[in-house]
Structure formats: structure tokens, C-alpha cells
A and B are shown apart, each in its own frame.
Chain A
């Protein structure tokens, strides 16, 4: 116990002495958590839409108004023909083109059906996809409105048509920050924990101080604990600042689930990820190497965690990588507990998986940390 205390005291003295580092460990995550969700917002608001109205009817005018009132689109003048519109797309002046054919309203009245065509500049895939989904939805709801207007209520009511009603659970305004903030918070804790723990041990190697520790009777587990605990505490501090000050203060996100559950999962997760950092440190001799190795894995972990792109859209081999990525589970659990209020029973599977990660990674870290060389 005395040995462990001496180790911890030393670590905290070093952290405190390195003001710049201590400041950055706290400030950078806060700044990022504030800015990243604003940037990582797929809710597209200013989609540049060009409408080629060959119909010039009251109906087409009504449709245009309806689209513009949604607030998602900025109307851009693209001239009168599809070719002209296409030119504008090539020049990046327009993202989406909606073509309303001539005699649109006439045909709709006479034949009861008419097609509209949407052309999207799919070079920016997200924009094209989301934009055309928005536009399609607006057109469909316009369709329903028209039905009600054109056809006597009684006639429609008895058509036998299947109606659909949709409901959005947990985030009914479809806002992105609630989705991104818990995930980014998880990411920041991961980066701080993973880097700092691996760099810290390697710095002792590079400076030669580890040799002085290795000739002492200190036990492997004491050494590992001495490294885990300070970063565990830093992780908790960074996480709490993120959760209470940024998530709640800036974005107004208050966890629906229990804080105890969030923090206990954070605890297990940090132990796992710090163990991973320590494990990586055993493969490096210099800080530069450790940074390179850690960065390599962190980058893959982040991309494969489902933070920015959905995991279930990945091909199967990639989903397997995601399944062996601890970050995946932490992000998932954060989103579940914070946004949905999932309980321990709901996430118990992920709990067990994380405990397993923690045990495996730390066992490997202790095993790889050698006090003697042979």
C-alpha cells in the first residue's frame, strides 16, 4: 500500500508540474466537445436546390412554396432547362435539381399520376442522399395534402388505402447533437486515456527512470496500478467536465438513464482502454514510437466505432473488426443510457463484453511488462 501511494504521489506531482500538459488535457477535450458536434451535423439545412418548373401552374407554385417553407433548402436560379441545371451542378452551384414537367398539374388531374424527377450531385454522397430523402418526404406529404383537398373526404376514407404513421423515439426533433455528443465524449476519453497511459510509461523508458524502478522490489501489479489510477482519475475528470459542463451546459443534454450506470461503465471502460495503452507501451522504446503505434490503433478504433458512420452498413469483415473494438461498445452504451435511458438489464451484455476486454487487455499488459530482460 505504501509503495502504491508513493507511486501515485509521484505521478500526480509530475502531472501537476507539467502545467501546459495538465491544461491541455482538460481544455482540449472541452473545446472539441463544444465544436465537433456543431461541425459533425448531418442535418443539412442549406441544400442548394434548383427547380426547373416547366409547368408554371398554381400547383407547381404551391409545391415550390411547400418545399421552401421546410427550411432545408436554398433556392438557386438555374434557368429553364435541364441542361442548364446540369451545368450549375457541375459548377457546384447546385446540389439538387427538381424537375416539374410541363402539364404536371393537368396530368395529375386527368390521369391521377405524374412523375417528378430529382437529380442529385452525388459527389457529396451524404448531401445527395439526405437531400433527396428530405425532398421525397416533402413531396409525399404534399401528395397526401392534395388527396385530402382534391377528393371528397368520404370517398378517400373508404378507399381501403393503407395509411402509415411514423414516430421518432428518443429524439423526436431529429437533432444531431444528442447523437454526436455522447459519442464524441466517449472518443475524447478514449484518446486521452490511451495516449497518456502509453506515452507515460514509454517516457520512463526513454528517460531511463524505469531501470531505477526495475531494480526495486516493486511488484508488477503495483507498477501497473500506479499507472492506471492517475489516468483513471483524469479520465473521470475529463468525462465529468464534458458531461456536466459541455453536454448539459452547451447542448442541454441530460442523461435519461442513471449516472451510476454511466460512471460504472466508464470505470470498466477506462480500465480496459488504459490497459490497452499500457500494452501498446510495451512495444515501444521511444515516445515517438509509442505515439505512432497508439495513433495507428486509435485511428482504426475511431473509424470503426460507429461514431460517424453506421456499423451495420459495413461489410461483414468490417463488422467483425468493429466487434473487437472496445470503443464501439462504449459509444453504443453512452448513446443508449444517455439518450434512451437504458437500464443495466438492457446493457448487461455490453457490460460483460467490456469486463472481458478489461481482463484480457490488462492481463496482457502485466504479462508484457517485464522487469527483467532475458
Chain B
């Protein structure tokens, strides 16, 4: 079967600065793929290219069978995206945010209602749906953002540091959501700084200075780098980095 994400020599330059340099990898359908790297390594840029938010400078990329340079509109229909920066409307309620994002993906009211009911049951927190998003605690905000990104049952969901700044319990709950989505066949593409989260992934890639320095299952990586923590794997790779946080 064709991989659901596939890139070959994908490159993005901003002027003289090469944010993403010749990366090639593929992600199979249903995988939980961890995309690691120090700040400024090029993770977010790579992810934005895959989502059709940035146009690649060169190289090939395919997401859900569509070319990222030419068919970004078709890609957008098939993907969900949760950005690093919280991006729901704080002055709308949870329900209204879901209705809105469902709406701009062209979902019918009935379908939207079904989704809302699903999370209703899942979270059994009824008042929350009619409270303004702005007044929710951060952990709930992140969960709602994930649910919103999943409104239209995307084939792939891109999560850009989804658990930044939330407590371990909420992170745990968040990963339960991710597993649930994965069980239903959604491919998960996630960036994170937490190495314990990296362990939850089927496979991880580690970016250093715009290039992919290593890519394998967490288990194999630990063997290859003669260590028993992902932390250590990451540290060994990341300290080779030449460039500082610039992006």
C-alpha cells in the first residue's frame, strides 16, 4: 500500500536560510509518527509544508495521495491540524467553535451534532460545551482543539506540540484521545518536546539543523544509540546541532 505521507528531497528556503534541507521519509496509514527536534530544527516548517500552508522550495511531497505543491486544496479536505499556538475563537463557546470548524469543512448540521454528542459522552462534562473557550483551563482548551481538528474525520491529523504547558494528567488524557483516533484508523503526525511522549509513537524521526538525523521506532533507536532512554538518544543527536534557535 502506498504510504499516506511521502516526501523526497523536500526543501524549504527562506532567503539564504535553509529551514528544511532535503528531507525524505514516509508514514504509513494508521501510524503514530513522532516528529522530534530541537527548537529551530525545522519541524514546524516541514509540517506546514505538509499541511499546504507553505509552498516547498523544491522536492516532492505527497499527503493522502495528493501533491503538496499543486493539490493543497485536496489535501486540506483530508487533514486535520492543531497548531502550536492555540487557535480556537476564545469568544465563542466550545459548541460554537465545533459548529464553525465543522461548517467550514462543509459538514451537515446532523453530522456536526453527532460529533458534538460523541465528545459529550466521552468527556461527560456538559456545562463546558456552552462556556466560552477563553474561560477554559489550558488542558481543556487543548482537548477541545484536538476534537475540533477531528470534526471532519480526517485521514491524517497534524499536531504541533499539542501538549505544551499542560500537566502530566492532562497529557495522559490527551494521548488517550490520540490512541482512540489512531485505533479508528487516523494517521497521527505529532511534534513534541517530551521524550516520554516520543515513546508512545510507533516511529519517530529526529530533525537536526533542517535534516532528518535519525528515524526508526523508539525501541530500535535506543538500541542503535546504546542507551535506554529516548532522552539520551535525543541529546546525543541534538548536541551536534550547529544552528541556534532562529525559527
The reply to whether A and B meet directly (CB within 8 Å) is yes
**Stretch in A164-172, A215-223, A262-270, A287-295 with 4+ CB within 8 Å of B:** A215-223
Q: How far is the CA of A18 from the CA of B89 in the complex (A)?
A: 13
Chain A 296-340 per-residue mask, 1 if CB under 8 angstroms from chain B, else 0: 000000000000000000000000000000000000000000000
Q: How far is the CA of A295 from the CA of B76 in the complex (A)?
A: 36
Q: Which residues of B contact A209 (CB under 8 A)?
A: 87-89
Chain A 160-191 per-residue mask, 1 if CB under 8 angstroms from chain B, else 0: 00000000000000000000000000000000
A44 within 8 A of B: no
Q: Given that A17-B91, A207-B90 are contacting pairs, would A216 and B51 also be in contact in the complex, using a CB cutoff of 8 Å? A: no
B103 within 8 A of A: yes
B55 within 8 A of A: yes
Interface residues in A197-218 by Cβ distance below 8 A to B read: 207-209, 211-218
Write the nearest CB–CB distance from A285 to chain B, whole angstroms: 13
A157 within 8 A of B: no
The chain B residue sitting closest to A374, CB to CB, is: B55
Chain A contact patch, size range: 20 to 34
The answer to whether A373 and B53 touch across the interface, beta carbons within 8 angstroms, is yes
The answer to whether A374 and B83 touch across the interface, beta carbons within 8 angstroms, is no
User: Which of B53, B91, B92 is A214 in contact with, Cβ under 8 Å?
Assistant: B53
User: Which of B54, B81, B87, B148 is A207 in contact with, Cβ under 8 Å?
Assistant: B87
**Stretch in A7-15, A135-143, A276-284 with 4+ CB within 8 Å of B:** A7-15
The chain A residue sitting closest to B96, CB to CB, is: A13
B119 within 8 A of A: no
A5 within 8 A of B: yes
User: Which of B73, B81, B104 is A7 in contact with, Cβ under 8 Å?
Assistant: B104
A6 within 8 A of B: yes
The answer to whether A215 and B92 touch across the interface, beta carbons within 8 angstroms, is no
Q: Given that A6-B104, A10-B96, A216-B104 are contacting pairs, would A211 and B83 also be in contact in the complex, using a CB cutoff of 8 Å? A: yes
The answer to whether A215 and B52 touch across the interface, beta carbons within 8 angstroms, is yes
The answer to whether A6 and B55 touch across the interface, beta carbons within 8 angstroms, is no
Q: Which residues of A contact B225 (CB under 8 A)?
A: none
Q: Given that A6-B102, A215-B76, A215-B79 are contacting pairs, would A372 and B54 also be in contact in the complex, using a CB cutoff of 8 Å? A: yes
User: Which of B74, B83, B102 is A212 in contact with, Cβ under 8 Å?
Assistant: B83
A3 within 8 A of B: yes
Q: How far is the CA of A10 from the CA of B101 in the complex (A)?
A: 10
Q: Which residues of A contact B80 (CB under 8 A)?
A: 215
Interface residues in B142-189 by Cβ distance below 8 A to A read: 148
Q: Given that A2-B106, A2-B108, A9-B99 are contacting pairs, would A217 and B76 also be in contact in the complex, using a CB cutoff of 8 Å? A: yes
The answer to whether A3 and B87 touch across the interface, beta carbons within 8 angstroms, is no
Which one of B77, B92, B100, B107 has the highest number of Cβ atoms from chain A below 10 Å of its Cβ? B100
The chain A residue sitting closest to B108, CB to CB, is: A2
Q: Which residues of B contact A211 (CB under 8 A)?
A: 53, 81, 83, 85, 87
Q: Given that A14-B92, A208-B85, A374-B55 are contacting pairs, would A218 and B104 also be in contact in the complex, using a CB cutoff of 8 Å? A: yes
Q: Which residues of A contact B89 (CB under 8 A)?
A: 10, 14, 207, 209
The answer to whether A208 and B92 touch across the interface, beta carbons within 8 angstroms, is no
The answer to whether B103 and A372 touch across the interface, beta carbons within 8 angstroms, is no
The answer to whether A372 and B99 touch across the interface, beta carbons within 8 angstroms, is no
User: Which of B76, B83, B85, B132 is A216 in contact with, Cβ under 8 Å?
Assistant: B76
Q: Which residues of A contact B52 (CB under 8 A)?
A: 215, 371-372
The answer to whether A3 and B103 touch across the interface, beta carbons within 8 angstroms, is yes
The chain B residue sitting closest to A5, CB to CB, is: B103
Write the nearest CB–CB distance from B111 to chain A, whole angstroms: 11
Q: Which residues of A contact B55 (CB under 8 A)?
A: 372-374
The answer to whether A6 and B103 touch across the interface, beta carbons within 8 angstroms, is yes
25 contacts between A and B (CB under 8 A): A3-B105, A3-B106, A6-B100, A7-B100, A10-B92, A14-B91, A17-B91, A207-B89, A208-B86, A208-B87, A209-B87, A209-B88, A209-B89, A211-B85, A211-B87, A212-B81, A212-B87, A212-B88, A213-B104, A215-B52, A215-B53, A217-B76, A217-B106, A372-B52, A374-B55
Known interface pairs A9-B99, A208-B83, A216-B76; 14 further A-B residue pairs with C-beta atoms within 8 A, sorted by A's residue number: A3-B105, A10-B89, A10-B92, A10-B96, A10-B103, A17-B92, A209-B89, A212-B83, A213-B104, A214-B53, A217-B73, A218-B104, A372-B55, A373-B54
